């Protein structure tokens, strides 16, 4: 072959929220090179080590290329065997129809995982199936992740997807809690090349302050790192608000004209002094005071908190307090502060605002959000008999056995179902229970427009890229699977099937009717974007309030009764904290939740699935790094290798999530060699943010002991 056979393609990386532009070279069916696209106005050539894994995902010999069904072998074990598409789709549609006919729609449970938001066909076409299955038993990774953000955005700004985005490139003071973008590449904050942006912030004399129970890679880069006892951020944030009021630093500026409830908030924190917060958080009162002053006095400043402050027992209280701080300091809706985006395909305009607590879960009475129930109660809904009990489970792009609290119980409960269907390319810890698995095309075989993450990006840009490879014969895209299944189910239930147009047509219509569409100078459409394969820059974020607010009367609402009430719960529950170790999570730049462990180049290097502990704690226990310890919580125990690190706050231990491979019946040769253990075997499904029902996978109370010799 010669160079003439080499083709160059443009593609956005969809693996995490950073949306890096890529240039991919192929020769025949082989990917020969993947690198950053310097012309992408957002990512400017940046990529992380995971970008090249797009090739590995595409070529992975363990990736399912054909549907499989589960059969029992003569020896009594389960095995998945390949079947053709018509049989697989009929099997799934028959099971769905019969479950609905005999037990009602609520007998169908559904769980959608994180990659479903990164796959635009899945976002556009899920409803082709689920409009026929309006079950109350819908779950997703949202409630082991960012549910508090949605709830607070709904309450304060009127739409669950209207999130203030840190304007890192223009800020002077950045207070960051419970986020490690140097490993995660940013979340609810699409910020490719975050390392350089944070370094630039420091280089122009600005400050980055990181509050985290672990001195993370991001904390290492920061101007200042502050340890905080897990689960106590609410005290830190409330005391900051107290200081703002006490020291006359509340100055919302133009926001005052359309903000309600600030005075009531001031009343609610009157007694919550830094001296009150200090013993709870482990942060000195002077320090809390100084940080509040510095943020308030900054020309432009940001308070931002992510995973670590939403997946904890007071996640919603924390996310609310963060927005109160942004409003009270006048840093919201201001360049260099936190701003709302104005994306080309505007989800705030195109989707419903969301709703809360319109019904509750059967078993535990946990509230719905956006017609989903908390994942922490999925097992209860499978196991609790009665009307509405889940008998058939549908999973799409998720691995809840490894990613939801008390995953071991779910692993067992999935075996108790009548039937299970998964739309997933992997035969993993969750899908191994499925009676039928419907695998979609590889990411390089379909086109991509990022419906979700342009809404969260630090610049307004738009980018569409066609597929790198043609879809091979006998392969279906995710969206085709959903519309096919929807049609087959509708036929069985005598319902009207929903028309199905390819996702690019739906996006085209949304772009053309959007703010940069037919009525604008930009004339954005799929055609225009095709002519600009590296994307189009629509400019920096700009102030947009009050027009952008979706609340009645376009006002920011801060005095949320449920949240103010939750301050009392915080005071109650933290007055009786035990002195056990607290378990927190940890991300590594070459991991991606549970699903990218089957690629050699992401797995090489030092083992990652170890329990990190402060060296003084190791010594206090009389232990040695490298030994194995048992970690026990209310729900179970696991064993992990101990590693000492002064990155850890004393009293806190850390394990990554997404490990625990090597289960019988899974397919993943490399992942199974790096099996590790699942920290979610000991996270507690009863330990949730009571307000939202979001799982508290951080701050879990655990006891440690030396593993007994075998």
With beta carbons less than 8 A apart as the criterion, state whether 226 and 211 touch. Answer: yes
Determine if 302 is a binding residue for ligand SF4 (CB under 6 A).
Answer: no
Q: In terms of CB distance, is 457 or 549 closer to ligand MGD?
A: 457
- Find which of Mo ion, ligand MGD, ligand SF4, none residue 13 binds, CB within 5 to 8 Å per kind: ligand SF4
- For residue 511, what are the contacts with CB-CB under 8 A and spacing of at least 6? 344, 345, 462, 517, 524, 525, 526, 529
Backbone angles phi, psi at 244, to 5 degrees: -60, -45
- Find which of Mo ion, ligand MGD, ligand SF4, none residue 316 binds, CB within 5 to 8 Å per kind: none
- Give CA–CA dist 699/653, Å, rounded: 9
Determine if 23 is a binding residue for ligand SF4 (CB under 6 A).
Answer: no
Q: Which of residues 150-179 bind ligand MGD (CB under 6 A)?
A: 177-179
With beta carbons less than 8 A apart as the criterion, state whether 325 and 237 touch. Answer: yes
Determine if 20 is a binding residue for ligand SF4 (CB under 6 A).
Answer: yes
Closest CA relative to residue 222, chosen from 173, 188, 185: 173
Q: In terms of CB distance, is 255 or 489 closer to ligand MGD?
A: 489
With beta carbons less than 8 A apart as the criterion, state whether 407 and 680 touch. Answer: yes
Q: Which of residues 182-211 bind ligand SF4 (CB under 6 A)?
A: 185, 192
Residue closest to Mo ion (Cβ): 145
Inter-CA distances, 397 with 147, 478, 706, Å = 18, 10, 37
Inter-CA distances, 385 with 136, 363, 515, Å = 15, 9, 49
Within 13 Å, how many C-alpha atoms sit on residue 6's CB side?
A: 9
Determine if 591 is a binding residue for Mo ion (CB under 5 A).
Answer: no
Determine if 17 is a binding residue for Mo ion (CB under 5 A).
Answer: no
Residue closest to ligand MGD (Cβ): 308
Helices (H), 269-312: 274-281, 285-297, 307-310
- Find which of ligand MGD, ligand SF4, Mo ion, none residue 308 binds, CB within 5 to 8 Å per kind: ligand MGD
- Tell me the closest approach of the beta carbon of residue 103 to ligand MGD, in angstroms: 25
Planar angle of CA 328, 273, 279, nearest 5 degrees: 125
Helices (H), 187-332: 194-203, 217-221, 233-246, 262-268, 274-281, 285-297, 307-310, 315-328
- Give CA–CA dist 665/21, Å, rounded: 36
- Tell me the closest approach of the beta carbon of residue 699 to ligand MGD, in angstroms: 5
Determine if 235 is a binding residue for ligand SF4 (CB under 6 A).
Answer: no
Q: Which of residues 145, 447, 480, 508 is near Mo ion by CB under 5 A?
A: 145
Determine if 362 is a binding residue for ligand MGD (CB under 6 A).
Answer: no
Backbone angles phi, psi at 280, to 5 degrees: -70, -45
Cα 140 to the chain's mean position, in Å?
10
Binding span for ligand MGD by CB under 6 A among 410-418, 502-510, 548-556, 692-700: 692-700
**DSSP code at position 455:** G
x/- site string to ligand MGD, residues 658 to 687, per CB under 6 A? x--------------------xx--x----
Q: Which of residues 21-80 bind ligand MGD (CB under 6 A)?
A: none
Structure tokens at 245: 């009021």
- Find which of ligand MGD, ligand SF4, Mo ion, none residue 312 binds, CB within 5 to 8 Å per kind: ligand MGD
- Tell me the closest approach of the beta carbon of residue 577 to ligand SF4, in angstroms: 36
From its phi and psi, is residue 388 left (phi > 0), alpha (psi between -120 and 50) or beta?
Answer: left
Q: In terms of CB distance, is 34 or 538 closer to ligand MGD?
A: 34
Q: Are strands 436-438 and 419-423 parallel, antiparallel or unpaired?
A: parallel
- Tell me the closest approach of the beta carbon of residue 143 to Mo ion, in angstroms: 11
Structure tokens at 263: 């005075």
Q: In terms of CB distance, is 65 or 532 closer to ligand MGD?
A: 65
Binding span for ligand MGD by CB under 6 A among 194-202, 254-262, 306-314, 567-575: 306-314
Strand-pairing partners, residue 224, are 209
Structure tokens at 37: 């696209």
Q: In terms of CB distance, is 152 or 198 closer to ligand SF4?
A: 198
Planar angle of CA 357, 371, 679, nearest 5 degrees: 90
For the CA atoms of 175, 179, 180, 182, what is the dihedral angle to 10 degrees?
A: -70
Positions of E strands within 546-621:
556-557, 581-584, 611-613
Q: Which of residues 423, 434, 524, 549 is near ligand MGD by CB under 6 A?
A: 423
- Give CA–CA dist 709/695, Å, rounded: 34
x/- site string to ligand MGD, residues 267 to 286, per CB under 6 A? --------------------
x/- site string to Mo ion, residues 103 to 142, per CB under 5 A? ----------------------------------------
- Tell me the closest approach of the beta carbon of residue 114 to Mo ion, in angstroms: 5
Determine if 15 is a binding residue for ligand SF4 (CB under 6 A).
Answer: yes
Determine if 42 is a binding residue for ligand SF4 (CB under 6 A).
Answer: no
- Tell me the closest approach of the beta carbon of residue 461 to Mo ion, in angstroms: 22
Determine if 594 is a binding residue for ligand MGD (CB under 6 A).
Answer: yes
Sign of torsion, CA 537 538 542 545? negative
Backbone angles phi, psi at 314, to 5 degrees: -125, 40
- Give CA–CA dist 148/151, Å, rounded: 5
Binding span for ligand SF4 by CB under 6 A among 46-54, 56-64, 73-81, 394-402: 46-54
Q: In terms of CB distance, is 234 or 545 closer to ligand MGD?
A: 234
In the complex, the residues that contact ligand MGD under the rule CB under 6 A are 16, 113-115, 119, 141, 144-145, 177-181, 183-185, 187, 211-214, 216, 228, 230-231, 233, 306-309, 312, 396-400, 403, 423-426, 428, 440, 443, 478, 584-585, 587-589, 591-595, 657-658, 679-680, 683, 697-699
In the complex, the residues that contact ligand SF4 under the rule CB under 6 A are 13, 15-16, 18-20, 47-48, 50-51, 185, 192
In the complex, the residues that contact Mo ion under the rule CB under 5 A are 145
């Amino acid at each position: 072959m010669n160079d003439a056979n080499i083709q160059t393609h443009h593609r956005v990386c969809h693996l995490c929220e950073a949306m890096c532009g890529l240039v991919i070279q192929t020769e025949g069916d082989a990917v020969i090179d993947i690198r950053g696209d310097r012309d992408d106005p957002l990512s400017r050539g940046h990529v992380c080590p995971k970008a090249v894994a797009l090739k590995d995902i595409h070529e992975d010999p363990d990736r399912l290329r054909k549907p499989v069904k589960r059969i029992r072998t003569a020896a009594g074990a389960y095995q998945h065997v390949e079947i053709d598409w018509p049989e697989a789709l009929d099997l799934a549609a028959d099971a769905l129809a019969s479950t609905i006919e005999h037990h009602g729609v609520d007998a169908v449970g559904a769980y959608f995982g994180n990659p479903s938001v990164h796959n635009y066909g899945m976002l556009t076409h899920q409803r082709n199936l689920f409009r026929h299955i309006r079950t109350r038993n819908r779950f997703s990774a949202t409630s082991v992740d960012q549910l508090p953000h949605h709830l607070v955005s709904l309450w304060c700004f009127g739409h669950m997807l209207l999130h203030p985005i840190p304007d890192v490139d223009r800020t002077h003071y950045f207070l960051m809690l419970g986020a490690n973008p140097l490993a995660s590449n940013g979340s609810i904050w699409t910020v490719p090349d975050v390392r350089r942006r944070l370094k630039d912030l420091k280089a122009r004399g600005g400050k980055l302050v990181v509050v985290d129970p672990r001195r993370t890679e991001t904390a290492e880069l920061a101007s200042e790192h502050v340890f905080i006892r897990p689960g106590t951020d609410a005290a830190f944030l409330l005391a900051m608000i107290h200081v703002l009021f006490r020291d006359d630093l509340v100055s919302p500026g133009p926001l005052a004209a359309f903000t309600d409830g600030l005075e009531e908030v001031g009343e609610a924190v009157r007694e919550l002094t830094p001296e009150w917060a200090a013993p709870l958080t482990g942060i000195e009162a002077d320090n809390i005071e100084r940080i509040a002053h510095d943020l308030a006095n900054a020309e432009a400043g940001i308070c931002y908190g992510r995973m670590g402050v939403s997946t904890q027992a007071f996640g919603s209280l924390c996310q609310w307090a963060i927005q109160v701080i942004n409003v009270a300091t006048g840093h919201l809706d201001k360049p260099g502060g936190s701003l709302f985006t104005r994306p080309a395909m505007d989800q705030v305009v195109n989707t419903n605002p969301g709703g809360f607590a319109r019904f509750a879960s059967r078993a535990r009475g946990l509230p719905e959000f956006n017609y989903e129930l908390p994942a922490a109660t999925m097992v209860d809904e499978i196991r609790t008999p009665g009307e509405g009990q889940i008998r058939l489970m549908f999973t799409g792009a998720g691995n809840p056995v490894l990613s939801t609290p008390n995953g071991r119980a779910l692993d067992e409960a999935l075996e108790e179902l009548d039937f299970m269907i998964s739309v997933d390319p992997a035969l993993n810890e969750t899908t191994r229970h499925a009676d039928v698995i419907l695998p979609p095309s590889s990411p390089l075989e379909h086109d991509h427009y990022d419906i979700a993450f342009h809404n969260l990006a630090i610049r307004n840009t738009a980018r569409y890229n066609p597929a790198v490879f043609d879809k091979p014969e006998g392969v279906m895209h995710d969206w085709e699977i959903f519309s096919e299944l929807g049609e087959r189910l509708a036929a069985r239930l005598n319902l009207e099937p929903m028309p199905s147009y390819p996702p690019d047509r739906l996006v085209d219509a949304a772009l053309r009717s959007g703010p940069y569409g037919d009525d604008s100078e930009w004339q954005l459409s799929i055609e225009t974007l095709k002519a600009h394969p590296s994307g189009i820059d629509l400019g920096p974020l700009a102030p947009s309030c009050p027009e952008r607010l979706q609340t009645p009367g376009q006002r920011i609402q801060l005095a949320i009764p449920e949240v103010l009430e939750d301050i009392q719960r915080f005071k109650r529950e933290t007055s009786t904290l035990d002195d056990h170790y607290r378990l927190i999570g940890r991300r590594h730049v070459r991991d991606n939740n549970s699903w990218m462990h089957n690629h050699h180049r992401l797995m090489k290097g030092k083992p990652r699935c170890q329990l990190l502990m402060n060296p003084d704690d190791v010594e206090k226990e009389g232990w040695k790094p490298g030994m194995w310890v048992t970690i026990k919580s209310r729900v179970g125990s696991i064993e992990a290798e101990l590693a000492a690190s002064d990155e850890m706050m004393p009293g806190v231990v850390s394990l990554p999530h997404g490990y625990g491979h090597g289960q019988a019946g899974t397919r993943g040769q490399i992942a199974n060699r790096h099996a590790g253990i699942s920290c979610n075997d000991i996270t507690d499904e009863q330990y949730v943010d009571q307000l939202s029902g979001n799982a508290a996978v951080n701050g879990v109370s655990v006891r440690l002991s030396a593993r007994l010799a075998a």
